[in-house]
Structure 1
Amino acid sequence: MRTLALTGLMTLSAPAWAGDFVDTRLSFAFADDNVFANAGETTPNSPTARFGGGIQNTQFYDNFNTRFSGFETLSNIVLYKKMPAFFEGLTTEAGLTVLLLEQPSGSITLRDNSSYIRLNYRPPGWNENEGLSLTGFPVSADRFRLGYAYRISWGGSGIFTTRANAAGVPGAKLQITRDKWYAFAGAKTALVLNDLIKEQETLYGFMAGAGWDPFETLRLEAGGGYFQKGIVPGLAALGVEAPVNSAGVSAQAVYHVGVPVGTSVDFKLYKNDPDVYQRFFAPEQYPGGLAYSVSVEGSYLVQTLSDPDVFGRTVPQEAKALALQMRAKLDYWRFHVLGLYRDLSFIQFEVPGLPPFSDFPEGTELNPEMFIAVGADYHFPALHLTPGFIVGVQQPASFRSPEPLFGGNNPPPGLTGTRTVVVRDVNTLSILPTTCGDDNDVCLAEPIISAKGTFRWDLSESVAAVGEVYYTYDRNRTTFRDDVFGIAQPSFEKPHALGFNMLLQARF
């Protein structure tokens, strides 16, 4: 509260250009992620309909370009200053950006959201949007990332693992921007405990990339990075120093007609510059005619992890991801297609590995995540109403160990054999039973089918009512129940789920 009071006094003492609270979202929700289930009947738990919602109320194709679920109430406190320097062509600017996130309990979390100091130099004869810039991130350089779709971006603060969060991950970025191309290079550092010497040590990360517009309708981009992640903690406890390092490259091609090349709001640096008024949540515009964009993105990463088959040795583990985004607007129609491929190593890249800091044992059967989703909506301008639909099919990532995962040296009958483990997201697992069906076949991950009907009713430029009704068929849902020996075993839940989200949202 003391911090909020100080912020309020600072806001009153200076003009508020375009709002010192930017990217503000207030969400009042009434939702139920599965009307077929009551509390205690599923894993994770599914209470009956209630006020509020979260990540459990979303589908695999939602939030492709953001880290948030959409149910949060949050804002960004931005104190911004931009001034011409004492030297010709140089401009200075700085932004103190604090994420204000309300918790379900009513408490408020404050977190740095990539505050920055930037120097911009425009040589004589260069256009207004061209120049050389140096940006320093004093606390968190998380918004300085590699990759382009947020779902498969990498190189943020988490690249040094969660062990670096307490000390922050500052960094710096140097960029040159010209009319048809740009290039950048940067670095980050993190303080992480070295489990061998029991002291914090500095870890380094380096990033570089470039983009080029050979035509007005085509953009090509690529970037790469190298990051240290410390040493394997488990081996350090045994006196073995095993470094964990990672590197990778990402590239994207975007073909666009009638629309600019967009980017996730979670990549942009917040500012409230009175000369460049930013409206993060302006109502969708429908100028008429056809406009569309198609982007294809890929990433190839590699990192060293502990070899589970040879004590004290590290081995490289590859990670790959692909994303396809197609968006079109025809008069009042909007269409989109999303496609994603992520192998299990990519999903767990920042942990790193599964289990942490370890490669998969030799002979492990690995299957990647793949999904395709298509959707459309139509806007009725007189009613300010936009109904739509989305359908998608996902093959979730999974692995099957070559050796029994549980049970010890003399396992009971219920714990013999290997099991298929479905990995829905980072460290989000569903363990399948040993056998399935009347023929006692091996249980494998099954495709997930999801369909959603949506509507958005804009009540004003900042307030809208949003509704969603979705159905999911997922034969990978499991929970644990005691067997005849009294041992908890994975057991299938009903595959059908019907849910709804009703939201009243204010965005400004």
Structure 2
Amino acid sequence: MKTFQTLALTGLTALSAPAWAGDFVDTRLSFVFADDNVLAGAGETTPNSPNARFGAGNQNTQFYDNFNTKFSGFESLSNVVLYKRMPAFFEGLTTEAALTLLVLERPSGGVDILDNSSYVRLNYQPAGWGEKEGLSLTGFPVSADRFRLGYAYRISWGGSPIFTNRATAAGVPGAKLQLTRDRWYAYLGGKTALVLNDLVLEQETLYGVMGGAGWDILETLRVEAGGGFFQKGIVPGLANQGIEANVNAAGVSGQIVYHVGVPVGTSIDFRLYKNDPEIYQRFFAPEQYPGGLSYSVSLEGSYLTQTLEDPDTFGATKPQGATAAALQGRAKYNLWRFNVLALYRSLSFIQFDVPGLPPFKDFPTGTELKPEMFFAVGADYHLPRLHLTPGLIFGVQQPASFRSPDPSLGGSNPPIGLTGTRTVVVRDANQLSILPAECGGSTRCDAQAIISAKATFRWDLSESVAAVGEVYYTYDTNRTTFEDDVTGVAQPNFEKPHALGFNTLLQARF
């Protein structure tokens, strides 16, 4: 009986101990009321635009939003982190590990729990080296998705999807060896994935190798570069014909950053979560305005290539190149903040992880390809007494598109609505809008520029709760939906180009 009382007392003591807030890192509870287009009702657009409702998603964002994250910002989520760091039995060696789980609430009320790049790390620090210097080995037992190439998240690559979505069920673990000194770093790592081989009908191991380095040439100037090589299995379509055609991908990325008064920023979706009490991290602390001028400018680019099926030669493959570039500028002057963002992505880069369009195929010779390009500028001003920050963003986008030389959209026996060649707008990976065959008497339709403007405000009610409002207008003449013609055959028709939407958000972050 005495033993039971001791155990009960111990349990109550543990429960009454103050919880370390870092156990739940980047927790966001979002209460949203929004309408992505008040000018349209249910069934009038593609994708569908219901009336104003509680809840929002990617459909409520613009092309310049969330450039450095994979989330829309409207999710309710948390990262549960169990972290431990201890000195080893050997001088200079430190061990640490973090079990980090993403807890993501679905609109239905269900909860998805996913590994968020949990890791085990060994760090060796020779005598005389600085606190942040050392040689570290990091192992990712389940998912190495946060170990990526590239620098802005929108054009990063080499994450788990690099092996295509056929590898996600078995996980994509990996390892990274990094040497860090005061003004430079270098790393080498690798990943593996299990993917079905369509010839032997068994899973096989695919490998990926990654490496990179960075150097602070000056206190204000950093240069970084990285590259990788990845196996993606074999072309399924050719395997069904008994032909083994390997799909391999490789590429390089580089970045130059000039920064004054602010450190080099990193996407939160690149960082490894920890809840070390000695290094308390607040990922979404209210913005600080120390006064004066601070700014950063970064320019990055990537060139990738992969082997895909050659649609012009039976049983053959060919390399397909892919390019991307991004310019980011951020400045803060007293209570003002300014942002400039420019992006270039080739169509093959957008579809790189699929891979190709259609999957595992290159574009036929003669296909007209146009890249995605956009430019956006924004500014906001902070009112300290009201804890209010109003702002404005304006952007112009030329969406990616392609036009095949042959009428291949409808297959070998296309319906009347899909005869002839057409322009297809690609908004993101596998997000397509097929344009009509003719535009105002013209024999063809081409993708047109998209214009968007957004007014924003953020009202900080406390250090952890804020009210956010957005009103945006978009002019997009590439919107289409399929409707039956007089013969009963569905074919693409233009929607109204105007869209007016709003997002209101009450969000707690802790």
Question: Per the shorter chain, which TM-score range?
Answer: over 0.9
Native 8 Å contact 2:248 2:306 kept in 1 = yes
Q: Over residues 137-165 of structure 1, what are the superposed CA-to-partner deviations in whole Å (9 max), with x where a residue is unaligned?
A: 00000000000000000000000000001
Tell me the equivalent position of 1:144: 147
Q: Distance in 2 between matches of 1:182 and 1:409?
A: 54
Q: Distance in 2 between matches of 1:284 and 1:76?
A: 22
Deviation at residue 96 of structure 1 after TM alignment:
0.1
Aligned partner letter, 2:249: S
Tell me the equivalent position of 2:487: 485
SS at 1:159's partner residue? helix
SS at 1:192's partner residue? strand
Tell me the equivalent position of 2:457: 455
Deviation at residue 88 of structure 1 after TM alignment:
0.8
Aligned partner letter, 1:276: I
Deviation at residue 16 of structure 1 after TM alignment:
4.0
Tell me the equivalent position of 1:73: 76
Q: Distance in 2 between matches of 1:341 and 1:13?
A: 53
Q: Distance in 2 between matches of 1:436 and 1:86?
A: 74
Tell me the equivalent position of 2:187: 184
Tell me the equivalent position of 1:161: 164
Q: TM-score w.r.t. structure 1 length?
A: 0.97
Tell me the equivalent position of 2:447: 445
Q: Distance in 2 between matches of 1:170 and 1:58?
A: 32
Q: Distance in 2 between matches of 1:487 and 1:43?
A: 18
1:101 equivalent among 86, 99, 104: 104
1:472 equivalent among 456, 462, 474: 474
Tell me the equivalent position of 1:495: 497
Q: Distance in 2 between matches of 1:290 and 1:52?
A: 38
Deviation at residue 409 of structure 1 after TM alignment:
5.4
Q: Over residues 309-341 of structure 1, what are the superposed CA-to-partner deviations in whole Å (9 max), with x where a residue is unaligned?
A: 111111000000000000000000000000000
Native 8 Å contact 1:17 1:273 kept in 2 = no
Note closer, same or farther for the CA distance 1:234–1:331 as it changes in structure 2 (3 Å cut): same
Q: Distance in 1 between matches of 2:266 and 2:202?
A: 39
Tell me the equivalent position of 1:342: 345
Q: Distance in 1 between matches of 2:94 and 2:418?
A: 66
Native 8 Å contact 2:22 2:280 kept in 1 = no
The alignment status of 1:207 with 2:210, answered yes or no, reads yes
1:171 equivalent among 171, 174, 184: 174
Q: Distance in 2 between matches of 1:118 and 1:16?
A: 25
Q: Which runs of 5+ in 2 are unaligned?
A: 1-10
Native 8 Å contact 1:405 1:419 kept in 2 = no
Native 8 Å contact 2:417 2:490 kept in 1 = no
The alignment status of 1:365 with 2:368, answered yes or no, reads yes
Aligned partner letter, 2:235: V
Q: Distance in 2 between matches of 1:211 and 1:158?
A: 25
SS at 1:239's partner residue? coil
Deviation at residue 487 of structure 1 after TM alignment:
0.6
1:42 equivalent among 41, 45, 60: 45
Q: Distance in 2 between matches of 1:408 and 1:118?
A: 52
The alignment status of 1:57 with 2:64, answered yes or no, reads no
The alignment status of 1:275 with 2:266, answered yes or no, reads no
Tell me the equivalent position of 1:427: 430
Aligned partner letter, 2:342: G
Aligned partner letter, 2:464: S
Deviation at residue 212 of structure 1 after TM alignment:
0.1
Aligned partner letter, 1:505: Q
The alignment status of 1:396 with 2:399, answered yes or no, reads yes
Q: Over residues 444-490 of structure 1, what are the superposed CA-to-partner deviations in whole Å (9 max), with x where a residue is unaligned?
A: 00000000000000000010000000000000000000112211000
Native 8 Å contact 1:26 1:505 kept in 2 = yes
The alignment status of 1:295 with 2:294, answered yes or no, reads no
Q: Distance in 2 between matches of 1:183 and 1:444?
A: 45
Q: Over residues 252-275 of structure 1, what are the superposed CA-to-partner deviations in whole Å (9 max), with x where a residue is unaligned?
A: 000000000000000000000011
Q: Which runs of 5+ in 1 are unaligned?
A: 1-7
Tell me the equivalent position of 1:417: 420
The alignment status of 1:89 with 2:83, answered yes or no, reads no
Q: Distance in 1 between matches of 2:210 and 2:219?
A: 27
Tell me the equivalent position of 1:257: 260
The alignment status of 1:17 with 2:20, answered yes or no, reads yes
Deviation at residue 422 of structure 1 after TM alignment:
0.1
Give % identity.
80
The alignment status of 1:377 with 2:394, answered yes or no, reads no
Deviation at residue 416 of structure 1 after TM alignment:
2.6
Native 8 Å contact 2:28 2:78 kept in 1 = yes
Native 8 Å contact 1:249 1:300 kept in 2 = yes
Note closer, same or farther for the CA distance 1:15–1:138 as it changes in structure 2 (3 Å cut): farther
Note closer, same or farther for the CA distance 1:410–1:466 as it changes in structure 2 (3 Å cut): closer
Native 8 Å contact 2:234 2:246 kept in 1 = yes
Aligned partner letter, 2:228: G
Q: Distance in 2 between matches of 1:475 and 1:253?
A: 36
Q: Distance in 2 between matches of 1:306 and 1:408?
A: 18
Note closer, same or farther for the CA distance 1:209–1:409 as it changes in structure 2 (3 Å cut): closer
Aligned partner letter, 1:396: P
Note closer, same or farther for the CA distance 1:485–1:296 as it changes in structure 2 (3 Å cut): same
Q: TM-score w.r.t. structure 2 length?
A: 0.96
Tell me the equivalent position of 1:3: none
Note closer, same or farther for the CA distance 1:14–1:154 as it changes in structure 2 (3 Å cut): farther
Q: Distance in 2 between matches of 1:337 and 1:284?
A: 18
Aligned partner letter, 2:173: P
Q: Over residues 198-229 of structure 1, what are the superposed CA-to-partner deviations in whole Å (9 max), with x where a residue is unaligned?
A: 00000000000000001000000000000000
Tell me the equivalent position of 2:6: none
SS at 1:442's partner residue? coil
Q: Over residues 415-439 of structure 1, what are the superposed CA-to-partner deviations in whole Å (9 max), with x where a residue is unaligned?
A: 33100000000100000000101x2
Q: Distance in 2 between matches of 1:249 and 1:153?
A: 11
Tell me the equivalent position of 2:4: none
